[in-house]
Structures are given as structure tokens and as C-alpha cells.
Amino acid sequence: MKFLSVTLASLGLASAASLASTKKVSYDDWKVYRVNVGSKAAEIETLMSSLKLELWKGKPASSDVVDIMVPPAVIKDFEASTADIQTHIMHENLGLSIADENASFGTYAAGAAPSATWFNSYHTIAEHMQWITDLAAAYPNNAEVVSAGKSVEGRDIKGIHIYGSGGKGSKRGVVWHGTVHAREWITTMVVEYAAFQLLTSTDATTAGFKNTYDFYIFPIVNPDGFAYTQASDRMWRKNRQTTPTATCVGRDINRNWPSHWDQPGGASTSACAEDYKGPSAGDGVETKALKAQLDSIAAGKGVQLYMDIHSYSQLWMYPYGYSCSAVLPNSAKFASLTSGAISAVKAVHGTVFTGGPICNAIYQVSGDSVDYAYEVAKANYSMTVELRDTGNYGFVLPAAQILPSGEEMWAGLRYLLVNM
């Protein structure tokens, strides 16, 4: 999700801190508010700037509602300034919500045959890496562990390649990315659930997908950022790459792809901003690796479908992000597939998604992977989703919602695989 570009260093937030900062960020007594913008966009912008607040969701200038994280020191000022604006509290104490999330962590025995119990809880990054290895090992005739390359800190960008008749690399590729933004933990689990279904389902249609496509599934494409959310700052978003001209750390991997990279309004030029595009197009370490891996699939049998999985807002979107006026040549087909996928999602647990082009459905995004996959890698279909929810829990989604999130998103993905 996108953020207002404000300086956060005065609040001691790790999201605007230098790489040298190692103190774990506490969110004890922080609150998260949902604010109805109405006619108060300018007023909210001014308030956020004066109190140096951080957005979770939306932009005051273009959104009906915005979700704002407020530290304890300025809660009284914030509430006094929004007395005439409709608000409600999403998290009464963000620190307690994070503590509850940590308490729900499961345990995983290395070498165990992966089962559906994995999706009952969140897990450490080490367990995620082991689970991917064990899933591939359990199905040696149809899966292998792959790496898109190394992260800034030397971690593997680890994934699983799933294939069927004809052997590895014999079919057009389907590529799914999760955890681009580090704090979006539910995306990791949902992408893993999709891989699990492809390999374990006894449904004939699902089992047959791997005979139609080669799947390249990467649950955590930002491993350094994800590790940092577990060790230091639960709300960290970007990668962990330094910038030569600033002390602030990180690029937004989804603003750094070399596709319409330098579009005004599509990303921030400030190194301290959550949506910082980076000093140059495609200079992010992870971006380079992911781009090369996607390009290699495109140069082989080609890319049938690219999906970038995010949270939160319950949206199903397609190009373009860089422009709200540009229209896809085959936009009617994209719209039809999106509508069908949304219906399939709703049929599982009643969860309602809305759809449309990225720029129109959420906001302008430049240098994003979805536009790159469609325009440069020539994917037949390129889409992105924002998973649960729409403003109850936001990024700190309870573990009880992992499995239903996976089930409903798999229904949407399955619809695409059948109908695209």
C-alpha cells in the first residue's frame, strides 16, 4: 500500500531510520485510525504533515478513507484535530495486536511432509524457507526449489518451480510473487497455499494445471525486509538497500521496475518515503534478480500469467498503474477475467473484492512489476491483488484468517487458470 511522503525520523521510526539502527521498534499504545476524508483532504494532509504521521492505506487527495498510524505522544492532538471528522479505531493498541500475532506463531519440524496445518499460524522466515524445501522434496517428480537470485543481505529469493508432463520448462510460465512489501505477511501464506494446492489437490482440473503451465512461485521476494519485520520493525515495507545520497534505507521494490519508472505522481523521489522509487530504474538488488528471472521465462516458452500478491483492500486489478487514462488493447478480456475471479472469491466465504485497472482502482503506481510484465515481458495476462481486509485489521491480520484467505484466493486464481 502507498504512503504519504513525510519525514518520520523525528518519531524514531525504523522506516525512516539509518541502516545503523538496531533497536526494535515498539508500537505499544500506538493507535490506527480509519478516517473518512470527505471534503477534508487538505486538512488531513496538513495534520499529517504537522504531526509527522504515517499512512497505512490510501491518499487524502484521492481516497474516500485513509488509515493512519498515530504514536501515543500525539494521540490527543490528533483526536482534537479530527473532532469534526468521522473516524473509528482499527487498533486500540497496535503493540498488543502485534503481540497477539506473535503469540499465534506455529512451530514446524524440518523435513516433515507439508500439510494444511501449516496455514493455521504465521511462521518465521527460517521456517518458510524450510517449508518450501520440504514441499518440493515431497513431490520430486513435479517440483524443484529455485532461486531468483540473492537479496541485498545475501539471502536466497527462494521459490518453487512446479511442472508436469513434458518436464521442466516445457510449458508457458505462470509467475506468482508474494511479500514484495515486507509487512504484508498474509501474502506469504496465500502464495504458499496456492503452491500447496497445485501439488496436493486430487481435483482433476487442479492436478492438470501443472500439465498445462510451468509455475514459478515465490512466496517471499523481499526476504531481507520480511526478516526485518520479524526482528526489528513489524511495520517495515521496503527492501534493506542503502542509498548513496541519504541515510534512509530501502527502495520500494514495486516502484523500481524499469517500466514507466519516472512518472510524476507514481512514486516518491524521497529516500525516506515508503514508496521511494530508488536512484535509478531497476537498481534495486531484488528488482534486478526478479526482472532477470521473469525475462528468462519470457525468453523461453513465454509468460502466460504474472500475479503480484499484496495486502490489504480486497481489490483485483490489472494494468495500467502508471496512467489512469491509458487503456489495455484487450481490456474487455481482462475485465471479464477479473469479474469472474471476484465472483469465485466471493463464493467461498462471501468476501467481496472490487476490480479494475490499478491506477483507477487504487492510485497511480509507476515502476511497478505488473506493467513491466505486461509491456516488456509480454505476459499474456498480468494482474495484482490486495488481499483481506478492508479496514478492520489491515496489515496485522489475525492468524485465524490465513486459511480462509488462502481458500478464497485460490478459488480466484483457479478461475484464471481455467478461463484465461
Cell of 34: 480509519
With the CA atoms of 337, 341, 342 and 347 taken in that order, what torsion angle do they form, in degrees rounded to the nearest 10? 140
Which of left, alpha, beta for 339 (phi over 0: left; psi -120 to 50: alpha)? alpha
Angle (deg, nearest 10), helices 223-231 and 185-200: 120
**pTM metric for this prediction:** 0.93
What is the phi/psi pair of residue 311, to 5°?
A: -145, 150
Report the pLDDT value the prediction gives residue 23, as an integer from 0 to 100: 80
Q: What pairs with residue 18 in β-bridges?
A: 248
Answer for the pair 73, 46: CB distance below 8 angstroms, yes or no: no
Alpha helices in 17-63 (DSSP H): 41-51
**Range 17-24 contact pairs with CB under 8 angstroms and sequence separation of 24 or more:** 17/248, 17/249, 18/247, 18/248, 18/249, 19/240, 19/242, 19/247, 19/249, 22/232, 23/232, 24/231, 24/232, 24/233
Report the pLDDT value the prediction gives residue 22, as an integer from 0 to 100: 61
What is the phi/psi pair of residue 12, to 5°?
A: 75, 20
Alpha helices in 241-318 (DSSP H): 285-299
Report the pLDDT value the prediction gives residue 68, as an integer from 0 to 100: 97
What is the phi/psi pair of residue 161, to 5°?
A: -100, 120
Report the pLDDT value the prediction gives residue 61, as an integer from 0 to 100: 86
Candidates 174, 151, 165; CA nearest to 225 is 151
Report the pLDDT value the prediction gives residue 98, as an integer from 0 to 100: 97
Helix (H) / strand (E) containing 218: strand 214-218
Cell of 413: 486464481
| pLDDT tens track, the chain, 420 positions | 434 333 333 333 434 333 334 689 999 999 999 999 999 999 999 999 999 999 999 889 888 999 999 999 999 999 999 999 999 999 999 999 999 999 989 889 888 889 999 999 999 999 999 999 999 999 999 999 999 999 999 999 999 999 999 999 999 999 999 999 999 999 999 999 999 999 999 999 999 999 999 999 999 999 999 999 999 999 999 999 999 888 999 999 999 999 999 899 899 999 999 999 999 999 999 999 999 999 999 999 999 999 999 999 999 999 999 999 999 999 999 999 999 999 999 999 999 999 999 999 999 999 999 999 999 999 999 999 999 999 999 999 999 999 999 999 999 999 999 999
Question: Could you tell me the sign of the dihedral formed by the alpha carbons of 61, 62, 65, 69, in that order?
Answer: negative
What is the phi/psi pair of residue 144, to 5°?
A: -150, 150
Q: What pairs with residue 150 in β-bridges?
A: 156
Question: Starting at the edge strand that comes first in sequence, how are the strands of the sheet with 65-70 ordered?
Answer: 54-57, 65-70, 31-36, 87-91
Return the DSSP state at 292: H
Indicate which residues carry an active-site annotation. Answer: 386
What domains, with CATH codes, occur in the chain?
31-102 (3.30.70.340), 114-232+294-419 (3.40.630.10)
Number of Cβ within 10 Å of residue 80's Cβ equals 8
Alpha helices in 52-165 (DSSP H): 75-81, 94-103, 125-138
Burial of 245 from C-beta contacts in 10 A (0-12 / 13-18 / 19+): exposed
Report the pLDDT value the prediction gives residue 112, as an integer from 0 to 100: 84
Residue in the structure block whose three cell numbers are 486538512: 43
